[in-house]
Structure 1
Amino acid sequence: MARGKKLYEGKAKVLYEGPEPGTIVQYFKDDATAFNAEKKDVIDGKGVLNNRLSEFFMLGLDQIGVPTHFLKRLNMREQLVRRCEIVPLEIIVRNFAAGSMAKRLGMEEGTKLPRPIIEYSYKDDALGDPLVPEEYIAAFGWASQHDMDDIYSIAMRVNDYLSGVMYGVGIKLIDFKIEVGRVFEGDFQRLVVADEISPDSCRLWDIETGKKLDKDVFRQDLGNLTDAYTEVAHRLGVLPKNPTPVTKPTLIN
């Protein structure tokens, strides 16, 4: 499927004009970044894995009635998505203390929170995506109160879905972040889950061992990032554990 001109290049993906109006081709790169892009590397195969995993999660959300921008996967690195107006927020859902929250509050990583906590950060790389309260969001017009109610509902439903799916394969969902976009249909708009859902945007720990299976492997130099993402894909059945080797056809006279 032909893609159009480049629209935007981020740290992990490139966006191109899609083949039809209102569509975008989303290309997954192998680039890995951490600490607001202060640490960078290219991890062979990362983009392929994130493309497949994000497809899996987006289709799962669609099946339970959570709208997303995903239309279909095109190939190993690209997927077709709806064009939407991104709300300039990262929506962070935390089930256990980890990362910046653990540091801010002096909590031990892995401490279970009394309930899922949702935080919002303003999407601006130059500012380091600072956390913002809902008062800022309303005052600066980034989202209406109705939008925020919908965003909260979407985030909690995504959390329920991801937590259940991960628990079923022996993985603890520590936290994750999503982005939300506005899709316009005539005079109406609706909010959809946009961007991606992958180990790049989640913290995933093995339930039994506490082994990290997410981008913290790269952040903290804990091993091979591709191996960690591949394990997640294997457990979810996105990739076969023992792929059948490709052999030449046998000619029968």
Structure 2
Amino acid sequence: MTTSSPDPTASPEPLDSLILHTTDNAVSWITLNRPEAMNAVTWAQRERVITLLDEASGDPGVRAVVITATGRGFCAGADLRGAPAATGERMPGDVARMIRRGAQRLIAAVLDCEKPVIAAVNGTAAGIGAHLAFACDLVIAAEPARFIEVFARRGLVPDGGGAYLLPRLIGPQRAKELMFFGDSVSSAEAERLGLVNRVVPADDLEKTAREWARRLATGPTRALALTKQLVNASLDSDRATAFAAEANAQEINMTTTDANEGVAGFVERRPPTFRGR
């Protein structure tokens, strides 16, 4: 729940300037844009990102998503600036409700997005910022990027799905090491551990993200969505359940235009042209 203290004297900035959004060649680009705050994410920014991910799921014109940021930081955690003000005395359950409605909804929005999501991590990703990256389907990190499980440093329990995501990515003992000590993990070490798919020079981050996004956006969109669902669900499933889900997904996918095009391309010995349908 890494937080920054609200500044009551700060004037609110237009949300469109704090979350930049464009759709380019069927790729939805979501850019955190508070570089002066290392892109610590506010309540309003979080809600905007959740909305954009939900819209990407339902928009046939979007076939991949990239989440990135400006400046030196990817996301330094949560900033409660702009959150609805608490009224009255804190009651048991208030904190849990805040976590469910806040950080956990953001991470779930990435995991549940029906389009593949790439994190292009330009700089420091700490707390919920690290978990935002780890929830993405693919993670590209610039060489200066680093990842920090800061919660224990603040006497806090990890939130935003951290204790769910990390053991599945790197195993429970490595996850505990990162969470117990809160040490900064370099991009190279994150790649070695399996938290990051690829590390690139800072100047190549956007170019690499665009190339990966282009490949995803010209792929069989529904097949990729079903594949994402299968892989995510398999981590919580027994073999029989996973095999049944796989068979059902293949059944559903064979009704798509892209599946038929893929088979036709194979038979006709030509590259298939997928249209995301």
Smaller-chain TM-score range?
Answer: under 0.3
Structure whose residues are more often strand by fraction? 1
TM-score by length of 2: 0.24
Structure holding more helix per residue: 2
